Structure 1
Amino acid sequence: MTKLSRAARICQSFDTAEKYDQAATAQRIAARTLFRHIQTSLAEKKPLRILEIGCGTGLLTEYLCTKWPDAEILATDFAPNMLARTKSRLGERVFYHLMDAAAPDVSGPFDLICGNLVLQWLPEPAKVLQNLARLLAPGGVLAVSTVLDGTFAEWQQACQQEGEQAGTPVYPKLAEVQNWRLPAFSGGWGVQDIVQAFADGLDFVRHLKVTGASVPREGVMPLSPARLRRVAMQFQKAGCAITWRIGYACFRKPPRKGVFVTGTDTGIGKTLVSACLVRRWQGAYWKPLQSGLADEEGDTPTVRHLAGNVPCFKPAGAFLASLSPDAAARAEGARIDPAQLDLPRDEADRPLVVEGAGGLMVPATPDLMMIDLAQRWGLPVVLVARSGLGTLNHTLLSLEALRARQIAVAGVVLSGPLNAENRATIAEKGQVRILAEVPFCAEITPTVVAELAKLFPKWNDICVE
């Protein structure tokens, strides 16, 4: 008799889980929570095409159908009977496809790809996320949940007290899943604990079987009935409750090729770095908000001159005073219309270099800081920082502010004399890539920029499409 692989046993276990819906309490809560995260991540955007992986019996699928009835929804699962149960629940409102999420055989692009409590069953989940991300449309969202370390801790403790080895899977720690990152995508992971009570110890064991989750991990033999009863009694003494620790992630693909260039200080060298990036990538340039035109020509003509007559988009607001964009606009009795601050869509094949005004916490409008705009645009950030004394505090605080908003960071550019110690500290403590070190130049010309541009990575080394 041929021994089934673990994947085949898991598939068989789910296929025979006839009472899944009645028992799937934690799964239902997780589906509802993931759906809320999806709504927040999409904001007002209505997805036109949705791919769901591991749809099970359709707990999440039903939320998707109700919220976006006009969307084309493709529900997939690797267990045929689970897919059939989703179809019996939702009928012809959804398209159905038998598919292993670890080897997707569908064509994108999709505006939303999602899966509830499926990653823990897949080999190499980080690779799975990367493969799925390639199926996303620009601005699309990849949303998943997974079981984390700490789940079933009460049962594992009961096993330990009886000198037994728990057969429950080894789930990843939060720190591990946080490394399942998608280059240039904004977003990140959050955690929820769900506590589920059971009538007695054996009720929990029956729950695992009913929900198709009873396949023990590799190398662990199932407990005999007598040993199982002893563990169940220990579990009962502790209160008959199980904790599920669930991780949720929503990753948003940038709406177009490009980066947002900001700095730790005003006058730190953002415009020079922007010109170098545009030159290096043969990109386009946009300075959405420009102030200080009473004292200088402005950054847009400067970049056009230095980078070689590249495509440059007109600023949404340009003001005379050397103040924050918000203060400069008010000084002229003007108002910055946030609707004019949407990313340009032209020149979509070129990486767009968007240069901010000042640093992250500079007011752009009465209601928006520059960091708010960075979050709204969804482009990975290039942070320009000085190389010398005082840079560590400013740079690490800026990186912390970006990550608190789950904004992707492409890397840091250090401006000024080479400083190996500061470079190493920022890279290590900030967990960030140093893209380039730009020395002080007494004169900035197109020729100088052409040489400095060679210090920067190529576009494909910044963001893999």
Structure 2
Amino acid sequence: MTDRSAQTRQARIQQSFDAAEGYDAAAVLQRVAARRLFDGLRARLAGRTPRRILEVGCGTGFLTHMLHEAWPEAELVATDVAPRMLERARKRVGEGVQFCVMDAARPDVAGAFDLICGNLVFQWLAEPSVALQTLADQLAPGGVIAVSTLLDGTFEEWRQACSAEGLVAATPDYPAARTVQGWQPGLCTGKWTTERCVQPFGNGLAFVKHLKDTGASVPREDGKAFSPAELRRVLARFDQAGAMVTWHLAYACFQKPQRAGVFVTGTDTGVGKTLTSACLVHAWKAAYWKPLQSGLADEEGDTSTVIKLSGCLPEDCFPSAGAYQASLSPLAAARAEGAEIDPARLAMPLEDPQRPLVVEGAGGLMVPATDTLMMVDLAERWGLPVVLVARSGLGTLNHTLLSLEALRARGLAIAGVVLSGPLNTENSKTIQEKGQVRILAELPQQKTVTAETVAALSRLIPAWDDVSEAMQVGRKGVSEKV
């Protein structure tokens, strides 16, 4: 679509919504989606109160009202491309909300926002993945962006009625669920969920009127209007099939990390997490935190090792929330000492948030940390991009690809993979291609590891700014390819 045609279509969408006088009465599914989205974003905020909120595509204010009612003291900026929609939203919500005309794809309000949201607006945007990243860039540290969109298969019954008469429905082509899964802003943690809703109508004319009343009657760019005779035939087919349509919806809540940094985990124990962490600390002049440490009866501990190898100062390392003697999982080691790990002590340090923090996990992703939490649960809670450390040799492909799949199933951002051991070009290439992940570094096997060794290996680590920026650019690239 050219810039001119995109602008023309945007103008038609604005006019259509401005003319949608019957929106409030007709927008049943829009209300349902607003409630689902609100419940999801509130759960993601986990009790935190947003101070600044930006809503895009607010329509007549279904979601706006919920936001203002939940957080009346917050600075809430509600925007839409249709001025008359905004006026109806203002009447619904009342005082205490700032309303302004704005295109969600071209935000012109100043960040940073603790919460950015938009209900059923992204299907109208020409480049939704780019718009999502642009909005996410305006999040404050720890901020949440929550959006919903329509998916492929929506109004399929109407399309089938048209097809049965040899015609092509002019309803827009919505993105496939697989495509939407690729819309994930860089550095952010979160994932998409889907929902299917069936809405009955009295007849086909009621459905057509519904599209007009909700402003959704703008056809796709190559759509052609039906003649009266063609429309009558399609309406008859639609009525015979039951006069109902299916909506396919997708919802997502993404959270920006509360600070700069990464979570280092491995495909298994002893794979090289501590060496990698030391290299990252040295390369990035980063702080370090080992939340849970076990095995102190057999070794000096990872915090002491990182201090010795990386050259960082003791004050650059945050104290562990739990340190235990036995060479077992943190949960088992704590139990062996009659101790209990308090989840409240596992809050990520937020001092000096612009400085990268290297958080080293214990074992692999599925190692128990507490009675109710695995290491992957803690990674999700902390929300930092993940560096996965894997062996370079035989057997690494299955372990590494499964670990990447587990991370993506949780919606965790992945900074990249570090391969530890003898250089293996074939395994490196396979992990990069099949895992759709960046190989951050390949750290060759060392006979002995010293501070000098770590200083040399650190030169193989890309700069922190490079990693951070590449993740944002990389998400956009993946979104466009999927």
Common topology (TM > 0.5): yes
| 1:370-393 alpha-carbon deviations (Å, 9 max, x no partner) | 111111101111111111122122
User: Does the alignment pair 1:187 with 2:183?
Assistant: no
| Structure 2 residue aligned with 1:433 | 438
Aligned residue in 2 for 1:244: 247
Report what 1:371 is aligned to.
376
Contact 2:281 2:312 survives alignment (8 Å):
no
- Paired AA for residue 425 in structure 1: T
Partner of 1:415: 420
Distance 1:357 1:167 in 2: 55
Name which of 232, 254, 257 aligns with 1:254: 257
AA in 1 matched with 2:168? Q
2:390·2:396 contact (CA, 8 Å) conserved in 1?
Answer: yes
Aligned partner of residue 463 in structure 1, secondary structure = helix
2:446 maps to a residue whose letter is: C
Deviates more, 1:48-57 or 1:412-421: 412-421
Are the equivalent residues in 1 in contact too, given 2:258–2:353 (CA < 8 A)? no
Q: Is the 8 A contact 1:202 1:229 kept in 2?
A: no
Q: 1:98 aligns with which of 97, 101, 108?
A: 101
* C-alpha distance in structure 2 between counterparts of 1:218 and 1:180, whole Å: 23
* Unaligned 5+ runs, structure 1: none
**CA shift at 1:241, angstroms?**
0.5
Percent identity reads 64
For residue 71 of structure 2, what is the aligned residue in structure 1?
A: 68
Q: Is the 8 A contact 2:292 2:330 kept in 1?
A: yes
1:203 alignment counterpart? 206
Q: Give the CA deviation at 1:347.
A: 2.6
Letter in 2 for 1:58: G
Residue number among 350, 353, 356 corresponding to 2:355 in the alignment: 350
Instruction: Work out whether residues 284 and 347 of structure 1, in 8 Å CA contact, stay in contact via their aligned partners in 2.
Output: no
TM-score (norm 1): 0.96
Secondary structure of the corresponding residue to residue 212 of structure 2: helix
Q: 2:146 aligns with which of 133, 143, 148?
A: 143
- Taking structure 2 as the reference length, the TM-score comes to 0.93
Specify the alignment match of 2:475 in structure 1: none
Structure 2 residue matching 1:66: 3-state secondary structure: helix
Find the counterpart in structure 1 of residue 119 from structure 2: 116
Which stretch of structure 1 is more off in the superposition, 359-368 or 158-167? 359-368
Give the letter for the 1:446 counterpart.
A
SS at 2:232's partner residue?
helix
Distance 1:161 1:89 in 2: 42
Amino acid at match of 1:55: C
Q: Give the Å deviation of 1:68.
A: 2.1
- Aligned counterpart in structure 1 of residue 319 of structure 2, from 293, 300, 314: 314
Checking the alignment, whether the CA contact within 8 Å between 2:263 and 2:358 is kept in structure 1 is yes
CA contact (8 A) 2:422 2:444 kept: yes
How far did 1:224 drift? 2.0
2-structure distance, mates of 1:160, 1:333: 69
1:160 lines up with 2:160 in the alignment: no
Measured against aligned partners, the alpha-carbon deviations of 1:326-377 in whole angstroms (never above 9, x if no partner) come to: 2222222322222211111113221100001111122222222211111110
- Separation in 2 of the partners of 1:42 and 1:433? 30
Paired residue secondary structure (1:449): helix
The answer on whether the counterparts of 1:436 and 1:455 sit within 8 Å (CA) in structure 2 is: yes
Deviations 1:296-326 (A, max 9, x none): 2111121112212241111122222222222
| 1:275 and 2:304 matched | no
- 2:260 and 2:177 map into 1 onto residues whose CA distance is 30
How far does residue 225 in structure 1 lie from its aligned partner after superposition?
A: 2.1
* Contact 2:113–2:143 under 8 Å retained in 1: yes
Give the match's secondary structure for 2:371.
Answer: coil
| In structure 1, distance between residues paired with 2:426 and 2:211 | 53
**CA distance, structure 1, for counterparts of residue 460 and residue 295 of structure 2:** 29
Q: Which amino acid aligns with 1:432?
A: V
1:48 partnered with 2:43: no
Shift of 1:148: 1.1
Residues 258-308 of structure 1: CA distance to partner in whole angstroms, max 9, x if unpaired? 110011111111000001111111111111111222222111121112212
CA contact (8 A) 2:367 2:374 kept: yes
CA contact (8 A) 2:258 2:350 kept: no
> Aligned pair 1:215/2:213, yes or no?
no
Report the equivalent of 2:337: 332
The AA in structure 1 aligned to 2:130 is K
SS at match of 1:145: strand
1:33 and 2:9 aligned: no
1:383 is aligned to 388
Displacement over 6 Å in runs of 4+: none
Deviations 1:172-224 (A, max 9, x none): 11111111221221111111111111111111111111111111111222212
Write the distance in 2 (CA, Å) between the matches of 1:367 and 1:152.
Answer: 42
Unaligned runs of 5+ in 2: 473-482
Which sits farther off after the overlay, 190-199 or 303-312?
303-312
Q: Cα RMSD over matched residues?
A: 1.6
